[in-house]
Chain A
Amino acid sequence: MVVGAHYGLRDWLAQRITAAIMAVYTVILLVVLIGGAPISYAVWKDVFAQGWMRVATLLFAASLAWHAWVGMRDILMDYVKPAGARLTLEVAVLLVIAGYLGWSIQILWR
């Protein structure tokens, strides 16, 4: 018998793939920042002005959005039992994540 909503494996996998993407980005960002000139406004601005860095940062933000959604939903499923409260919080988390993502795009392509 097959039961369930069938999103478990996909989310489990997404959680890990997005984690790997973010880990690689973290290392790249550290190398760029530590390997470059001492951070001034000009250096800082230039780092995020490069096309590849903007795309990589957007990929990081999108990974974070998906990763955070799966993680926060896991937390809500574990600790918030009343269905109404859980649904309300899940919607709130989704709205916050959408806001984060929109703001990130705005910051990157100002």
Chain B
Amino acid sequence: MANATIRKPRPKYLSLGALLFEIRLPLAGWVSILHRISGLLLFLAVVWLLFMLDRSLASEEGFEAMRRYAGLPPVKLALLALIWAYCHHFCAGIRFLFLDLDKGVDLASARLTSALVIAASLALTAWLGVLLW
């Protein structure tokens, strides 16, 4: 083109600061990225969970040792985080299955189900936490 306009530099919003403080994810976006983060977390944690399952099934002493181990505050906190990750991954996954079937794709219900997923996974985490300890 003869009179092509000079390209203005486009603003770039993908700096870490922008990612953290400027880009506001809608609720459904939070459900989605947390689904990914919780999945990664669970994948990495399987080795630890298998270790505890192995020890707890190996012998009576192993079982009692794991019970004491799970009672230590930092372990308890980590386990609660993993329980949350599992619950969130579970609930958000079910939401995605419904989205695959074209159910709940309009804005209002997408927002509502996102809020439900976040609330349900927190409630399930609290319930399982109470049950375990």
A binding-site residues for B, Cβ under 8 Å: 16, 19-20, 23, 26, 34, 40-41, 44-45, 48, 64, 68, 71-72, 75, 93, 96, 100, 103-104, 106-107, 110
Whole-angstrom distance between the Cβ of B45 and the nearest chain A Cβ: 11
User: Can you list 6 contacts pairing A with B, beta carbon distance less than 8 Å?
Assistant: A16-B100, A19-B97, A44-B63, A68-B42, A75-B36, A107-B50
Stretch of B9-17, B18-26, B53-61, B103-111 that contacts chain A: B53-61
Q: Once the chains are docked, how many angstroms separate the CA of A13 from the CA of B36? A: 18
B42-87 with Cβ < 8 A to chain A: 42-43, 46-47, 50, 53-54, 56-58, 60, 63-64, 86
Whole-angstrom distance between the Cβ of A40 and the nearest chain B Cβ: 8
Q: Once the chains are docked, how many angstroms separate the CA of A41 from the CA of B55? A: 11
**In the complex, are the beta carbons of B43 and A103 less than 8 A apart?**
no
Residues on the B chain within 8 Å of A75, using CB = 36, 39-40
Size range of the chain B interface in the assembly: 20 to 34
Chain A: CB-nearest residue to B97? A16
Residues on the B chain within 8 Å of A68, using CB = 39, 42-43, 46
Q: Mark B25-42, 1 if CB is under 8 A from A, else 0.
A: 000000000001001101
What 10 pairs across the A-B complex have the smallest Cβ distances? A41-B63, A41-B60, A68-B43, A71-B39, A107-B54, A100-B46, A19-B93, A103-B50, A107-B53, A72-B43
**In the complex, are the beta carbons of A23 and B50 less than 8 A apart?**
no
Which of A26, A34, A71, A72 counts the most chain B CB atoms within 10 A? A71
**In the complex, are the beta carbons of A41 and B47 less than 8 A apart?**
no
Residues on the A chain within 8 Å of B58, using CB = 110
Q: Once the chains are docked, how many angstroms separate the CA of A32 from the CA of B34? A: 29
- Which of B39, B57, B94 interacts with A23 by CB under 8 Å? B94
Whole-angstrom distance between the Cβ of A101 and the nearest chain B Cβ: 10
Residues on the A chain within 8 Å of B47, using CB = 96, 100
- Which of B40, B56, B57 interacts with A72 by CB under 8 Å? B40
Is B6 an interface residue when CB atoms closer than 8 A count as contact?
A: no
Residues on the B chain within 8 Å of A71, using CB = 36, 39-40, 43
Chain A: CB-nearest residue to B42? A68
**In the complex, are the beta carbons of A26 and B54 less than 8 A apart?**
no
